[in-house]
Structures are given as structure tokens and as C-alpha cells.
Amino acid sequence: MKAHGPAVVPAVDRRTVLALGCALGISALAGCSLAENATGTATPTPGSTDAEAEADAGLKLKASGLDTPWSMVARQDGSILVSERDTARIMALGPDGKLTELVHLPQVVPSGEAGLLGLEIFTETGGIEWLYAYMGTGNDNRVVRFELQDARVGPAQDILTGIPRASIHNGGRIKLGPDGLLYICTGDATDRQAAQDPARLNGKILRIMPDGGIPEDNPFAGSPVYSIGHRNVQGLGWDSADRLWISELGPEKDDEVNLVRAGGNYGWPEVTGVARDPRFIDPVHVWAKTSDASPSALAIAEDVAYVACLRGERLWVLPLPGDGPPTGGTLTGAREMLAGQEGRLRDVLVVGNELWVATNEGAESRIIALPMGSLG
């Protein structure tokens, strides 16, 4: 079993060779087909710059000079916090565009896909702001939290420890659900059969209280496990009906988007893709070729999922279905944006009326924003 690897294309080429958009005077994004590249980016004219071409497309550069950013989260003060996987730094991007280091976490031991991964913020009723981080230590993956104090953080508090780690398949996304609980994605950490064992924390969606307690209505009594049978989940979000959706990396085929049910079994490693096996829940959307996706983060706005992809080097736009019969593994209206333009995409976040995207290009990584109105 092989992990998805990076496509070997120089970052400068991806940004210089911008794809054709809806040219010839057709500026409405909705009229673009997949082959036309749905960003609506025009071909640069002789003498034009990359910045000019991106401005024509509505893209805005929010930050550059980041080193392998993994997760973005918004604070109450309008700043955006960004984790860097390999440097173990959490960076703060202010409303003025200034990028500063908030904290360095020496307890993080990066290796391969492990390191400083997901971030989330929970604000208590009294106004205390807690920052949560999913990190790889020398012994495990764990979730810790820090009290945010203006431009400083308090000491780390362990919230959930003992999640198996490996050089690949560490999951790592954390999100606060509409029920006020924390949902945590874990990978199988290369122990495939552990994904089917409810007593193990790898290959799961976990659900805990903000202080680390176990919700009484979790499907496995006394356990943080919420669903099982996952290979490597890195994206999750909720639609307007509070349904939980996840994006999941497959092996050499069958990257998936799944609709998660409490206690559900999603099949790994017994099956991938649409198996029609009554023991398992089939995905709602499948990419047969990992070169088209290898999905990382997922964000949902107006019941449309935006999925950032690694090997696929594109942003997928997926209108989510309402309740009804199974889709058979294909969502109607799925289309792609930014194909080949920004390299590997790691995270995506809705910020006001913009969709922010963090690239995964090592020291060349950056954060860009697209106006939500251009995504319709």
C-alpha cells in the first residue's frame, strides 16, 4: 500500500502557466465547463505578470513564505491561525496581512505526514478562547489545548492521547460540530485491520467534549469512537441540516466523500468505493483515480462542499444532495477549479465572503482567497 505522493512539478511553473478560463468575453463562472477550468482565469497577455493574471481571476494573495501549512482557523479578533506541520509553529495572520509566530511547540516530533496538524478554536460562554491542536509526539498522536491570551498561549493541556502514529496515514483534522462537541479524524497509521476494531483509535472519527470527556450518547459506550472503517480522513464539515460529511483518501483508487452516521462502518480495509455490501456504508462520491483528487480538507457553505486536493492539485466543488436514494458514487454537478495552478492544496476555509485555500508546497506554500460569488 503506497501513500499518495507529491506531483513533481516546480511551483513556479504551476503559477506561471495559468489555465484558460471562460475567455472570449464570457466572464460568468457558471458557464464554464470542467475542461475550461472553472476559475475563469484568462491567459496572460505578453508582458503581463502572474499577479495581474490572478487579479483578473479574482484571486487574492493572503500570505506567502509559509512552510508546509496544514490547518487554518479563525479567531474572534479576525486573525487566522495557521499550523505548520514540520516546523511545529502556529502562525498568526492578522487582518492587516502581517504574519507572525504565535507559538512554537517543541513537543511535536515531525516525520513524514506526522507533525503539527489540525487546529480548532472553542470559545466558552464566559469568553475564554481555547485553541486545540492535533500533534504527533515521539510516542503518539494527541489532541492538546491552550488558553489563548491575546498574542500569547497558556500551557498545553492534554485532551486526548494515545492515538497511534506512523510516518503516513495520521488523519489529523479537528472540527467543532454544531452540537458543541469536537470531532477528530484519525488515519489507520498503516495498521489496516485496526480500522475495523472499535477498541482502537486509529482509522476512526472520534467525538469528545471540549474538556476531553466522552459524550453519553456516543455509539460505543465509554469510547470516543464515533464511526469506524476509515483509511485516512483529513476533511470534515456539516451542511445546513447538521449532517456530517468527510473526505477520505483511498489506496491506489477510490478516494471518497462520505456522509457519516453515528456507529457507521465505512468498510476499510475490507472494501473501498461503492461495494454494495450490507455490512458497510457506501460513499456518496468516489474519485476512481487518485490523480484526480487525493482529498485533504473539506469546507461546506450553502450546502456545497469545497474539497482541497493534494495529488490532484485542484479544488473540487461538490453540490451536496438532500435526503434521498444513494447517489451510486457520483454527485451531480461536481466540477473542479484551480487545476494545476497552485500545486498541492492542503486546507480550505470560509472566511466572510471568501474561500481561503492553503497550498502544500513546502517553503513555497502560500494562502490565496477566492470570492465566494465566483464559486457558484
Predicted confidence (pLDDT) per residue in 174-199, tens digit: 999 999 999 999 999 999 999 999 99
pLDDT of residue 143: 98
Residue with the three cell numbers 468505493: 273
Say how far apart CA 212 and CA 163 lie, in whole Å. 14
Rounded distance, CA 199 to CA 229, Å? 12
Residue 348: give its domain's CATH number: 2.120.10.30
Look at residue 30 and tell me whether its pLDDT is greater than 80.
no
Angstrom distance (rounded) from CA 134 to CA 174: 7
Altogether, the residues listed in the chain come to a count of: 376
What are 109's three cell numbers? 516530533
Question: Does the pLDDT at position 43 exceed 90?
Answer: no
The answer to whether position 279 is within a domain reads yes
Q: State residue 50's pLDDT score.
A: 53
CA 185/CA 245 separation, integer angstroms: 12
The rounded distance, in Å, linking the Cα atoms of 357 and 61 is 10
Please report the pLDDT score of residue 129 as a whole number. 96
Grid cell, residue 111, equals: 516525520
Does residue 306 form part of some domain? yes
pLDDT of residue 118 exceeding 60, the answer is yes
Q: What is the DSSP string of 294-313?
A: -EEEEEEETTEEEEEESTT-
For residues 185 and 179, give the distance between their C-alpha atoms in angstroms, rounded to a whole number: 17
DSSP 85-99: TTTTEEEEE-TTS-E
Position 295 in a domain:
yes
C-alpha cell, 301: 457553505
Residue 58 lies in a domain: no
Amino acid 198: pLDDT? 98
Whether 2 is covered by a domain: the verdict is: no
> Any idea which of 33-42, 128-137, 272-281, 316-325 has the lowest mean pLDDT?
33-42
Handedness of CA 359, 362, 363, 364 (dihedral sign): negative
Mean pLDDT along residues 50-72: 81
Identify whether 51 is part of a domain.
no
**Domain that residue 159 falls in:** 64-374
Domain count, the chain: 1
26 part of a folded domain:
no
Mean pLDDT of 244-266: 98
What pLDDT is attached to residue 184? Answer: 98
3-state secondary structure of 1: coil
Confidence of residue 323 (pLDDT cuts 50, 70, 90): confident
- The answer to whether residue 10 is domain-embedded is no
Dihedral Cα 276, 278, 283, 284, nearest 10 deg: 80
Q: Is the model's pLDDT at 173 over the cut of 80? A: yes
